[in-house]
Amino acid sequence: MISYEHPDLTQHPPRSPRVRLGGYAVLPRIIDKARAQLAGKLGEYLWNNPLDQRLFTFLGVSAEAFLAAVQTAASDADLLTWVNAHAKRQPWEIAAWTAWIENLGPGDISRHTVFAEQLARQNPKRDDMRTFCDRLDMDDYASFGGRA
C-alpha cells in the first residue's frame, strides 16, 4: 500500500498533478515530493523543479519555507492551513491558476522540442499528449511498470 504520509518515490510516483488540495492543482504532488526529499527517498524526481517553482511563486513562498512547513505539518490539512495563511489567495484566483496549470503546454520552441523528445522516448504512437499534466501522468505510470 502506498503511504503518502511517508512517500518513497523510488517505489511509487507522487500523486498526479491533477489531484487538488484546497483547490490547488499540483499541491499534493509537491507535498509528496517534499516529504520524500526530507526522507531521502525522492528517487529520480526533482525537488524545486520549474513546476514546483510555479506553485511557490503563486503562493508567494520560497521552496525552503515550504519544505520547513512540510517538515512540521502533521497532515495535508495542516499544510493547507499553512499555505492559506501565507498565500492569502481568493478562491477565484486559485481556480484560475489551477485551470491554467492543468492546461499548461510546453510554451516556447525549446520546450516543445524537449516535450516531443520525451514523448518519443516513452511512446511515439501517443498523439494525445498536450499538457505537462498529460506528460507527467504518463511518465509516472510508465516509470513504475505501466505501458505508456
Residue pair 75/83 in contact by the 8 Å Cβ criterion? no
Residue pair 122/142 in contact by the 8 Å Cβ criterion? yes
> How would DSSP label each residue in 38-95?
HHT--TT--TT-HHHHHHHHHHT--HHHHHHHHHH-SSHHHHHHHHHHHH---HHHHH
Residue pair 38/65 in contact by the 8 Å Cβ criterion? no
For residue 15, give the amino acid letter: R
For residue 138, give the amino acid letter: M
Q: Over the stretch 14-56, which tens digit does the pLDDT of each residue have?
A: 999 999 999 999 999 999 999 999 999 999 999 999 999 999 9
Q: What's the pLDDT band for 148 if we cut at 50, 70, 90?
A: low
Residue 86 in this model has a pLDDT that exceeds 70: yes
Q: Which residue has the cell 505539518?
A: 73
What pLDDT is recorded for position 51? Answer: 93
More confident residue, 78 or 142: 78
Q: What's the pLDDT band for 147 if we cut at 50, 70, 90?
A: low
pTM: 0.90
Q: Which of 81-90, 98-107, 108-117 is the least confident region? A: 108-117
The whole-angstrom separation of Cα 125 and Cα 119 is 9
